Amino acid sequence: MSDNIIKDPEVILCDMCAEEERKPARKTCMKCEISMCVQHLQAHLTTPVLLQTHPLTEPMALCGTTKCPQHGKLLEYYCLDDMTCVCVSCAIEDQHRLHNMKTFSTAHTELMEKLKTEQKALLGKTDDENVSLEKWEKSEREKLGQCSVSLIEAVTKLRDLSLTSVQSSVSTRMVAIKTSKKSMQAAQDETDTFRFLQMYSQVHQDVEKAKAVDLRKGLEPGSDRDKLVQEIRQSENTPKY
Ligand SMILES: [Zn+2]
Ligand SMILES: [Zn+2]
Ligand SMILES: [Zn+2]
Ligand SMILES: [Zn+2]
């Protein structure tokens, strides 16, 4: 074998190293739009003006994601109203002018806090509703279990039918909550500010979907199921001749 060096396309290489010996990049400068190895990163880490005005991120492939598609300028701010990264022109003179704007790092911190709060609230919601679903099922089984032997077969069928239908619709709704939990976790595990902000709007959508879920729907009294149970109870009490 003449070439046993495996080139991993996932590894971001330093843009400043000589072409034939490019080292893996340690950071990417969003302003210069280059990735740099430890050695070539020094200027960015030691020059005060570069430190202040050149945001560094974890090494990433830059394919136009850091420039504003409208103004061609560096994306520097995060618009909380639109949940999108914007450039300085967007921020001061265009459609985001009156919007709530933050620097990337402030937005990252604030949204992370928000996610944690929402995660807690959602966790409480599922715990609470899991318990009430179990309770509901138990009391329902008890109620139905009291029906007479002559009707036991019909009741069993009805019971299984109604429980299965409610359970399956509840578990469908649980999926939305599970999805949001997963994406919230992924966002919280993302250490890179820019990538976090890019994924946030999807996370937000997932959370909103989960928040809109009403797990109790279908479990409330007065549904057709209850009427059916009533009818069975009544026919059970009707004297037989
Ligand atoms: Zn280098
Ligand atoms: Zn730079
Ligand atoms: Zn712009
Ligand atoms: Zn905006």
Average confidence (pLDDT) over 68-86? 87
Closest to 35 measured CA to CA, from 53, 54, 18, 58: 58
115 alpha carbon – ligand 3 mean position (Å) = 27
Q: What is the pLDDT of residue 3?
A: 39
Q: How far apart are the C-alpha atoms of 93 and 72, rounded to whole Å? A: 14
Q: What is the pLDDT of residue 215?
A: 65
200 alpha carbon – ligand 2 mean position (Å) = 25
231 alpha carbon – ligand 2 mean position (Å) = 76
Give the pLDDT band of residue 166 (cuts 50, 70, 90).
Answer: low
Quote the DSSP letter at residue 240: P
User: Which token pair is 229?
Assistant: 């149970």
For helices 193-212 and 152-189, the axis angle rounded to 10 degrees is 160
79 alpha carbon – ligand 4 mean position (Å) = 5
Decide if 190 contacts 199 (C-beta within 8 A): yes
Collect all residues with Cβ–Cβ distance below 8 Å to 105 and sequence separation of at least 6.
193
> pLDDT per residue over 15-62, tens digit each?
899 888 899 999 988 888 889 999 999 999 999 888 888 888 888 876
Instruction: Give the number of the ligand closest to the Cα of residue 92.
Output: 3
Higher pLDDT, 206 or 162: 206
68 alpha carbon – ligand 2 mean position (Å) = 17
Query: What is the CA angle 106-114-216, rounded to 5?
Result: 165
Q: Please state the ipTM of this predicted complex.
A: 0.63
Decide if 66 contacts 194 (C-beta within 8 A): yes
Secondary structure class of 209 (helix, strand, coil): helix
90 alpha carbon – ligand 4 mean position (Å) = 8
